[in-house]
Structure 1
Amino acid sequence: MKAGLVEFSWTIVFQIVNTIILFLALKKLLFKPVSEFMKSRKDDIAASIEEAKSKNEEVEKRKKEYETKLQFAEQEGREIVKEASKKAEARASQMKKEAEIESAKMIERAEEEIKRQNQKAMNELKDEMSSLAIMAAGKIIGKSLDKEKHQMLIKEFMDEVGGARW
């Protein structure tokens, strides 16, 4: 008897039973651990994705905070520069006023010194002129004056000359 392509025999039954046993064994030993591994891997990937999303959100939040702080720092820096500029201008103005006051005082002291020197020169000139006038008067009169008359002549001369403007 010639066997056809598919023939029903005990060999086929044993092959089917062996395939079922092999399937159950593989399912218990291989499919279940592989399925659990795949499920665990899938859960790990999902958890990693969620963690990455939360970290991205946190990074965005911190980025916004830093941008806000940076803007605040820039504004604060501009205010500090502005305030320093105002202080520098105020200090310059104060220094200018102090210099003007000091120069005015120096001019006033110089004018007072000039007046004192002028007065001193005038007094010396008056003393010298009175001495010369007395000497000339003494020579003209031809006699010596005593001290009392000498002082009286000087006083009279000074009264006359002192009123005149030099």
Structure 2
Amino acid sequence: MDIEVRALPQLSSMLIAWAALLLLYLMLRKFLYKPVSNFLNARKEKIQGDLDGAKALNEEAVHLKEDYEGRINQAKLESQQIIENARKRGEEVREDIIAEAKLEAETIINKARKEIAREKEIALQDVKSQAGEMAILIASRIMEEQVNMDTQKNLINKFIDEVGKSKWQS
């Protein structure tokens, strides 16, 4: 058996190996590399699209959050303003009620003063008429009885006591 050992392979076998390798490379590139590469590119684009979509959603969520926080702050300000307006309106209503009550009290006091003045006038008229009647009665009694000064004073005092008791008790 004779084995031949060569340091360099034969040119024909080397060319066949190179041709087979080139053919294998071209076939793998056409049937395996391009579909796998297309698949990986599509997956990469999908992942990038998902990341971009997530980023956009995140930005939108941040924007919505800021918008909602702004609305909440605005609602708080509006509620504080409504409360302040209601408090002011309550103060105004309270002051109006107090002013009305004071006016009504003054009206009642003025009516009472007028009524007191009227009653006082009526009482004075009664006293005048009674004094006139008493004077007439006293004069008639004095004329009926001719009396001296002491008797006249006693008669007047007695008459005043009688008239005073009967008039004030009735």
TM-score range, shorter chain: 0.5 to 0.7
Match of 1:90 in 2: 92
For residues 62-121 of structure 1, the C-alpha deviation after alignment (integer angstroms, 9 at most, x for no partner) is 211222222222222222222221222122122212211211121111111111111111
Match of 2:137 in 1: 135
Which whole-Å CA distance do the structure 1 matches of 2:130 and 2:41 have between them?
129
Structure 1 portions without partners, runs of 5+: 2-12, 143-166
Which whole-Å CA distance do the structure 2 matches of 1:119 and 1:65 have between them?
79
Which whole-Å CA distance do the structure 2 matches of 1:121 and 1:22 have between them?
142
Match of 1:7 in 2: none
- Kindly, what percent of the aligned residue pairs are identical? 33
Match of 1:99 in 2: 101
State the superposition RMSD in angstroms: 3.1
Structure 2 portions without partners, runs of 5+: 2-15, 145-170
Match of 1:9 in 2: none
Higher relative contact order (CA 8 A, sep 6+): 1
Match of 2:118 in 1: 116
Deviation at 1:34, TM superposition (A): 4.2
Which whole-Å CA distance do the structure 1 matches of 2:109 and 2:99 have between them?
15
Look up the equivalent residue of 2:52 and give its one-letter code. Answer: E
Which whole-Å CA distance do the structure 2 matches of 1:129 and 1:29 have between them?
145
Query: Where has structure 1 moved over 4 Å in runs of 4 or more?
Result: 19-32
